[in-house]
Structure 1
Amino acid sequence: MKIPYLRTLVPMLTGLVLLTLFACKKAAAPSAIRPPVPVTLGAVIQKDMPNHKEWIGNLQGTVTAMVKPNIAGNIIQRYYTEGSVVKQGEPLFQIDPAPFQATLDKAKADLATAVATQTKVQQDFVRAQNLLAGKVISIQEFQNQQQNYQATVGQVAAQQAAVQSAQVNLDFTKVVAPIGGLSGLAAYEVGTYVSPQSEQPLTTVVAIDPIKVVFQVGQDDYLSLIAGSLKDPSNAAQQRKENQSAGMQMVLSDGTVYPQKGIFRAANNQISMQTGSITVEGTFPNPGTLLKPGLFARVNATVGVTNGALVVPLAAVITIQNLHQLAVVGPDNMVSIRNVNVGMMTRDEAVILSGVSAGEKIVVQGTQKVVDGCTVMPLPASPAASPAPTGAATGEKGATRALPTASSTPAN
């Protein structure tokens, strides 16, 4: 009874085993090989690299004068035009001089009275000298006359000082520009009572040709500025002269390059403990007073040259937090990810301090697609964009803008 059942079961089990073995052979098929990653390559170049630095600065006047009254009174006239260029000593405001003129007239009258009194007492004193010589009066009477004369001399001197003081106050009623420069808006209108204790100055006058740019230089940048002088103190003067001749370039906040060349003016005498930076000032010619205090700008300067620096395109540097890497391509087009130390960086290039050698190939475009050990397929390098002409910067929509120089002539 059981034999027919077994005859049926055995073929079924055999077919199931064969099917399983066939499926396993298909699953064991070899995996597909990963194709090479298309990338654009560059090379590590060794060259002399100018030490470009860039800082954010704020424009200020070389001198800013707060015009305040030295006496109290009502403003009766404003002489200058707000926002115009004024010369040193040019009248700006007139404060009512009437009370001060009256004070001066009274002081002159008091002086005349004191002089007349002195004249009479002097005559009495001379007479007393003669009487004393003839023994007509006592020594005590002569000394009284002498003291009276000396008192009148003092009174005349006091009245002369009162006249001078009254004249100074009268002169102060005409408020003049303490320096030459660009005048500001008037803080008080005609008819307003002002005094030395007024909260705001009458106006301000700012000397802005040349104009000053103030920026903060970090201590690392500062040390690089003086590195040559530290190595050889005898070259300090020559280093300062070279820095002055190299000059500075200023790029305004909208990307406009200022055509005038600036120079380093001065540095503070200490580095801030709070910020770890030192305040540095530079000056730029400002013909036509186009630039105004308060503008922000980028200050670019070339300070020294790094000889034989290893330079790569900035796009080739892979940055992960504080770690910098380069994708180095070997002769077999296999990628090796290396950690590198990056020095100075510009807008287009980076100086590599260690990690690669001159002439090695690196991935410039496509770094996000490569991993360590992968194979790449070099693509033809795209034509490099033409560099912007000197004294110009690229702004919105690729437009290049530059301020006209003072001697440029408008087109007809």
Structure 2
Amino acid sequence: MRMLTYRPVIHLILLPAMLSMVTACAGGDEGGKGKKGPPEVGYVVVQPQSVPVQTELGGRVVAFATSEVRPQITGVIRQRYFTEGSYVRAGQPLFEIDPSLYRAAVNQASADLSSAQASANAATAKANRYRPLAEMEAIAKQDYTDANAQAQVARAAVAQRRAALETANINLRFTTVPAPISGRIGRSLFTKGALVNAGQADPLAVIQSADPVYVDMQQSSADLTRLRRSFASGGLASSGTSVRIKLEDGSDYGPTGRVEFSEVTVDQATGSVTLRARFPNPEGLLLPGMFVTAFFDQAINPNAFLIPQAALQRDFDGSAFVYLASKDGKALRRKIVAQGTSGANWIVTSGLNAGDRVITQGTNGLTHGVAVKPVPASTPQKTDASAKNAKPAVKTGG
């Protein structure tokens, strides 16, 4: 009975205190929400500038000069004078073909020449003796005419035998097969004792000159046409022809090259045009047939904008857009055209104006027209996580 008497009194005492605490908490939350301002966003001010239009193309290393070592006579290889894979110089002997038959041919041609010269001397002497006799009419003039003709035929035979001797000497010289150019020679396709001839399909070996080398790059005709139209309209300016390449392992090749020419026809199979660059290769690092990636500034855009890559966003259709910080503290969505990158920045060719403030930090959750607090991008930003961590500290201090 005593408990029933005091319980309503306790409830009446505690109820006002509980209501005041609930009211105070509600008022505190509303006050905190009221004090929270627009989110801070970092921006950069963009200005037009000259930006090189970098082109990235796949390429293949091509030897500066290539020569197939071929025999010019028929015979059996008697000796090989080079080491496979070594560097050879122009004129250096590489193979020797058995010269026995060709040396004998030289001797025979030499003997035939001597015989023809002897016959020519006799015929010439006979014609000389007949000449005064024909003038004195001691002999018939026809006899002198015949003798003179035989002397001319004999002299012509001498010329023929001399030419045959020269041919035989040339063939004898061909028994030694020299290097036609200087360069690195590959493997020998024929061994000692192999029969070779001038009309065979396979060469004896192949020599490639690899310092300097060419790098052939393939560019689509559509890209080249677009570039030429930009040149014609004045939107782009021509750039230098310096080229850098990366090797197959992703490392940079130190020396730079230069574009030497562009093909004048389009490959019907691939729809591309060949560009050729020349590179020094003193250490022989670039090998013919190697695949590389070439980078070069094919043009310069004098009115482009560079924006950090974090500022650019993509829409559902793939189009690019950025958020701008307006003068009245609003986030404005702006569509842009970005063509390639330059380092850590996008190259924007359309959609921006000089002095625009492009938001690069705090872009998550932004919508067009929302209120923001723009600060320079280098200013430390306050995040939601830091604000939440700060509230308990304030309460504890109170």
Residue type of the alignment partner of 1:354: S
1:160-171 alignment runs, 5 A limit: 160-171=162-173
Between the aligned partners of 1:65 and 1:216, the Cα distance in structure 2 is 25
User: For structure 2, which runs of at least 5 residues remain unmatched after alignment?
Assistant: 1-36, 380-398
Aligned position for 2:321: 326
Q: Is the CA contact (8 Å cut-off) linking 2:42 and 2:378 kept in structure 1?
A: no
Between the aligned partners of 2:260 and 2:61, the Cα distance in structure 1 is 13
How far did 1:293 drift?
A: 0.6
Aligned position for 2:195: 193
Change beyond 3 A, Cα 1:75–1:260: same
Aligned position for 1:296: 291
Between the aligned partners of 2:76 and 2:316, the Cα distance in structure 1 is 64
Aligned position for 2:337: 341
Q: Is the CA contact (8 Å cut-off) linking 1:329 and 1:362 kept in structure 2?
A: yes
Q: Could you report, residue by residue, the CA deviation over 1:118-152 in whole angstroms, capped at 9, with x for unpaired residues? A: 11111111111122112122122222112211111
User: For structure 1, which runs of at least 5 residues remain unmatched after alignment?
Assistant: 1-35, 384-412
Q: TM-score, normalised by structure 1?
A: 0.71
Aligned position for 2:18: none
Between the aligned partners of 1:262 and 1:42, the Cα distance in structure 2 is 39
Between the aligned partners of 1:380 and 1:211, the Cα distance in structure 2 is 49
Aligned position for 1:266: 261
Residue type of the alignment partner of 2:339: G
Aligned position for 1:87: 89
Aligned position for 1:180: 182
Count of matched residue positions in the alignment of Structure 1 and Structure 2: 340
Residue type of the alignment partner of 2:151: Y
Q: Could you report, residue by residue, the CA deviation over 1:197-219 in whole angstroms, capped at 9, with x for unpaired residues? A: 22211111111111111112334
Between the aligned partners of 1:178 and 1:321, the Cα distance in structure 2 is 62
1:346-361 alignment runs, 5 A limit: 346=342, 348-358=344-354, 359-361=356-358
Change beyond 3 A, Cα 1:116–1:313: same
Q: Is the CA contact (8 Å cut-off) linking 1:64 and 1:206 kept in structure 2?
A: yes
Change beyond 3 A, Cα 1:329–1:271: same
Aligned position for 2:46: 45
Q: Is the CA contact (8 Å cut-off) linking 1:326 and 1:362 kept in structure 2?
A: no
Aligned position for 1:253: 248
How far did 1:44 drift?
A: 6.6
> Is 1:124 aligned to residue 131 of structure 2?
no
Secondary structure of residue in 1 paired with 2:319: strand
Secondary structure of residue in 2 paired with 1:258: strand
Change beyond 3 A, Cα 1:269–1:68: same
Q: Is the CA contact (8 Å cut-off) linking 1:211 and 1:283 kept in structure 2?
A: yes
> Is 1:71 aligned to residue 73 of structure 2?
yes
1:5-404 alignment runs, 5 A limit: 43=44, 45-46=46-47, 47-219=49-221, 221-222=223-224, 230=232, 243-244=240-241, 247-314=242-309, 316-318=311-313, 323-330=318-325, 338-346=334-342, 348-358=344-354, 359-362=356-359
Between the aligned partners of 1:65 and 1:169, the Cα distance in structure 2 is 21
Residue type of the alignment partner of 2:46: I
Q: Is the CA contact (8 Å cut-off) linking 1:44 and 1:357 kept in structure 2?
A: no
Q: TM-score, normalised by structure 2?
A: 0.74
Between the aligned partners of 1:94 and 1:320, the Cα distance in structure 2 is 72
Aligned position for 1:19: none
Change beyond 3 A, Cα 1:330–1:193: same
Q: Could you report, residue by residue, the CA deviation over 1:167-191 in whole angstroms, capped at 9, with x for unpaired residues? A: 1111111111111111111111111
Aligned position for 2:29: none
Q: Is the CA contact (8 Å cut-off) linking 2:43 and 2:376 kept in structure 1?
A: no
Cα RMSD (Å): 3.6
Q: Could you report, residue by residue, the CA deviation over 1:206-259 in whole angstroms, capped at 9, with x for unpaired residues? A: 111111111123345545776797579xxx9xx6xx625xx2212111111111
Secondary structure of residue in 1 paired with 2:338: strand
Q: Could you report, residue by residue, the CA deviation over 1:267-306 in whole angstroms, capped at 9, with x for unpaired residues? A: 2233445544321211111113232111111111224432
Between the aligned partners of 2:105 and 2:184, the Cα distance in structure 1 is 35
Between the aligned partners of 2:66 and 2:122, the Cα distance in structure 1 is 54
Secondary structure of residue in 2 paired with 1:307: strand
Secondary structure of residue in 2 paired with 1:260: strand
Aligned position for 1:387: none
Residue type of the alignment partner of 1:324: S
Secondary structure of residue in 2 paired with 1:88: coil
How far did 1:79 drift?
A: 0.7
Q: Is the CA contact (8 Å cut-off) linking 1:342 and 1:350 kept in structure 2?
A: yes
Q: Is the CA contact (8 Å cut-off) linking 1:39 and 1:363 kept in structure 2?
A: no
Q: Is the CA contact (8 Å cut-off) linking 2:44 and 2:377 kept in structure 1?
A: no
Secondary structure of residue in 1 paired with 2:255: coil
Residue type of the alignment partner of 2:172: L
Q: Could you report, residue by residue, the CA deviation over 1:32-85 in whole angstroms, capped at 9, with x for unpaired residues? A: xxxx9x998664733321222221111111111111111111111111111111
